[in-house]
Amino acid sequence: MFVQDFALVDQAFDRVAARLEGEADALLGGALDSARAEGERLRVRVGPPTWPALLARAVEIERGPVRVLADRALLAFSWSATAAGSLFPQLDADLEAAPFGLARTEVVLRARYKPPGGAIGRGVDQLLLHRVAESTLRAFLGRICDQLNRDP
């Protein structure tokens, strides 16, 4: 499954690229807590009562190096649950920053995951979980952008 979202940051591209290079772990780690909390609120509303406990898990993030090109900064990363990994999909993502004028930067998050559970898992994902994934990623991206908008 594919999920994508974007946001604008009120910072020049050079500044955002430098922060990605120097603070990638802090940006990803700080954003994850907010995204997980947003996802739990959504899960409580749309899922059976047992879902928050089943789906709210800590994840480990693995990231590649930040690659800064003339007009792009790219960061590839993945996350996977630290427990009960077979119940939770691994997410592979790319965070991309690009100039949007002189004083703003567009930040795009593109992610891919494969729902666990074969055909049943794909069906549940189409009915419900894809929206949970979209909401979680949107909150995750929003938190990254909030951090980038703040002065270090």
pLDDT value, residue 36:
58
**Picking from 20-29, 89-98, 117-126, which range would have the lowest pLDDT averaged per residue?**
117-126
Q: Is the pLDDT of residue 97 over 80?
A: yes
pLDDT value, residue 29:
81
The percentage of residues in the chain with a pLDDT greater than 70, rounded to a whole number, is: 66
What mean pLDDT do residues 32-38 have? 60
The domain defined by 2-149 carries CATH number 3.30.310: no
- State the Cα angle at 134 between 139 and 103, rounded to 5°: 50
From CA 21, how far away is CA 23, in angstroms rounded? 6
pLDDT, tens digit (0-9, with 9 covering 90-100), for 43-89: 322 223 344 554 555 667 889 999 999 899 999 998 876 665 555 67
pTM listed for this prediction: 0.78
From CA 62, how far away is CA 28, in angstroms rounded? 10
From CA 149, how far away is CA 152, in angstroms rounded? 9
At residue 26, the 3 state secondary structure works out as: helix
> For residue 3, which of 112, 108, 107 has the smallest C-alpha distance?
112
Model confidence band, residue 41 (pLDDT cutoffs 50, 70, 90):
very low
The percentage of residues in the chain with a pLDDT greater than 90, rounded to a whole number, is: 40
Q: Comparing 66 with 25, which gets the higher pLDDT?
A: 66
